[in-house]
Amino acid sequence: SLMQRSKVDYTILFRQLSSMTKHELSMGFDNLFSRLDPAFYCAETQRELASEWRSWFELYSQRVLSDTRDDETRRDEMRKTSPKYIPREWMLVGAYEAAERGDYGKIEELALIFETPFDEHPEFESKYYCRTPEEFRKKAGVSFFS
């Protein structure tokens, strides 16, 4: 599928889509594609597949624009089914390591966001609402099972 070939983070992609209003979607692909940047692992692949994303986005926009629900209802429903934060191994490894040294701060942070993963938690966004950091992408047991 397009999403698989694009090397996209599904959680981030769906959450980013949930923030778009009908008015924004009516402005077209060129104005909004950059809003999906946080979900893509590979900018080169993103550029290579841009025409396919344009087609996908046009279909998605048509679907949303034909939806009779108001923006807030639709977006709220999307946010309730697309968590902003999910437990990711790279997050947990750092928390485990800190806890072994007696620092439980990261575990407490993760417990807070995972209790309410659909909430925004802006204070943790830059730290946990992101793709897997580069240093963990090929680390056995963190980015894949060894």
What pLDDT shows up at residue 36? 92
Q: Is 141 left (phi over 0), alpha (psi -120 to 50) or beta?
A: left
Mean pLDDT of the region 117-137: 92
29: pLDDT strictly greater than 60: yes
What pLDDT shows up at residue 113? 97
Give CA–CA dist 18/60, Å, rounded: 12
110-123 pLDDT, tens digit per residue, is 999 999 999 999 99
Q: How far is residue 10 from each of residues 17, 41, 67, 79, 99, measured CA to CA in Å? A: 10, 11, 22, 14, 29
| pLDDT tier at 143, thresholds 50, 70, 90 | low
145: pLDDT strictly greater than 90: no
Decide if 46 contacts 9 (C-beta within 8 A). Answer: no
Residue burial 127-141, b: 16+ Cβ < 10 Å; e: rest: ebbebbeeebeeeee
Enter the pTM of the model. Answer: 0.87
What pLDDT shows up at residue 146? 33
Give CA–CA dist 54/52, Å, rounded: 5
